[in-house]
Amino acid sequence: MVCVSELENLTREDLIAIILELRERIEALEAENAELRSGKPGAVDAPEWAKPNRKERRAKEREERKRRKDSSVRRRDEPTEIVQHAVETCPDCGRRLSGGWLHKRRQVIEIPEATVRIIEHQAIARKCGVCGKTHLPKMNLDGQVIGKMRIGIRAMSLVAQLATVCRMPVAQIQGLLNTVYKLHLSAGEISAILQTTARIGEEEYGRLRDEIRGSPVVHADETGWREDGVNSYIWSFSSPVVRYFVHKTSRAAEVAKGVLGEGFKGKLVCDFYSAYGALDVVCQRCWVHLLRDLKKLKEAYPDKPDVDEWTQRIRDVYERAKSFESDIPRQRLKAKMILERKLMSLALPYIGSTKPQRVLAQRIEKHLAELFVFVEDPRVPSDNNAAERSVRPSVIARKISGGTRSENGSRTKMILMSLFGTWSLRGLDTFAECHCLLANFRPDKAIHSTQA
């Protein structure tokens, strides 16, 4: 290329050569840009952070695509209020118009302006003119308020819903109630609401533990927690219909023993944490954890084909176990024993060796009897995903609020998480269930509050 000042000294042939060179460069850049837009492999690689373009569907694939049973269009809701718009007089001649027909409808969904209801219950004293005695009515507010608290059970249910399901800290609950309902609650009052709700739910909390102990299959997991700035743990025990949480400063096996009890006869689905091995129960170790570690091993040694082959053969054994189907217990037990022998034959050459497969091979040897329990018992899943989903809300809550500040706060958190988690797992309306729990409480049960 030449500078602008040198153009005056160039001949006509030189200028034509420069123009042709620029045209070739422009065409090359346009071709490169077209390749990048189309997503087809070309000379220029896309950056690592860029997601690959989806594959273009062929016309035949679009025609054979499964049709939805129901239309995905938005359906009209049942209106709670109707506002009719009509022209009263003719804009041309001024004649008054009446009657007509429905030409068009448009629905607008809006929330009402809500302000807090402050209901003052007044006891009227009346004096009998015959005997001269003064009589006062018995103010029975059962099903409306708990004890001497000034907050009604609907407001209590909403606070518990926001703190547990929505995982909102106290300050955010204060802001929401103030914005939407013009209700001003102190941080201490919100904490008292949560603690009172948890105390009322203690009996139901105990029943959930009993259901866990009687369940044929239980998923267990634990995750970190913070109480007043000190590390601790949340233990989760769940079944298809129950979620039960307990907070402990220990991660030892004694915690699981205390929850499951001495007479637990079910099967426990868990990861490879050693504490579960100290329990006198039948365990099914999570295959997802093992497959994840196999993938990490493969990625750590990309230049070793024997590692790739070994991990794939173990995956094949797992896929074979997952695809096994039989309703005959003897056949399922026989299949379990065959799969154990096959898996052990893959692990045996690497036990005690110095090869990369050694660690996972030793894990397979140690937990061999706990890897194919799901083949023998079809009620047992091969993974611990149920427990992972169970503890995920507590992990999010810890990241949002940083944990709890006292032992009482931790217990309150565990009770509410267990109640709301179980209601949600059963497909119930968590707000309605909490309201029902509080409404059915009777004052003969000792519940005391510091809120006047």
* Domain contains 31: no
Are residue 353 and residue 390 in the same domain, yes or no? no
pLDDT surpasses 60 at 452: no
Are residue 221 and residue 197 in the same domain, yes or no? yes
pLDDT surpasses 50 at 43: no
* Domain contains 404: yes
Per-residue tokens: 295:
């993938």
What pLDDT, on the 0 to 100 scale, is given for residue 7? 63
Q: Distance between CA 265 and CA 218 in Å, rounded? A: 10
* Domain contains 221: yes
Q: Distance between CA 151 and CA 435 in Å, rounded? A: 13
What pLDDT, on the 0 to 100 scale, is given for residue 361? 95
- In the listed set 357, 376, 395, which residue is the last one of a domain according to the structure? 376
Are residue 352 and residue 399 in the same domain, yes or no? no
pLDDT band at residue 148 under the 50/70/90 scheme = confident
| Residue 310, domain extent | 287-376
- In the listed set 376, 397, 419, which residue is the last one of a domain according to the structure? 376
* Domain contains 68: no
Are residue 400 and residue 347 in the same domain, yes or no? no
pLDDT band at residue 71 under the 50/70/90 scheme = low
What pLDDT, on the 0 to 100 scale, is given for residue 449? 39
User: Contact, 222 vs 243, CB < 8 A?
Assistant: no
> What's the half-sphere exposure (Cβ side, CA atoms, 13 Å) at 358?
5
Pairing of β 230-238 and β 134-135: unpaired
* Domain contains 90: no
Are residue 254 and residue 313 in the same domain, yes or no? no
Mean pLDDT value across the chain: 89
Q: Distance between CA 315 and CA 318 in Å, rounded? A: 5
Q: Distance between CA 427 and CA 437 in Å, rounded? A: 17
Q: How many domains does the chain have?
A: 2
Are residue 174 and residue 240 in the same domain, yes or no? yes
User: Contact, 336 vs 372, CB < 8 A?
Assistant: yes
In percent, the amount of the chain with pLDDT more than 90 equals 72
Tens-digit pLDDT profile for residues 298-338 = 999 999 999 999 999 999 999 999 999 989 999 999 999 99
What pLDDT, on the 0 to 100 scale, is given for residue 444? 61
Are residue 229 and residue 293 in the same domain, yes or no? no
- In the listed set 317, 351, 376, which residue is the last one of a domain according to the structure? 376
Tens-digit pLDDT profile for residues 189-217 = 999 999 999 999 999 999 999 999 999 99
Are residue 199 and residue 313 in the same domain, yes or no? no
* Domain contains 21: no
Are residue 169 and residue 139 in the same domain, yes or no? yes
pLDDT band at residue 378 under the 50/70/90 scheme = very high
Of residues 282, 193, 257, 247, the one with CA closest to residue 394: 247
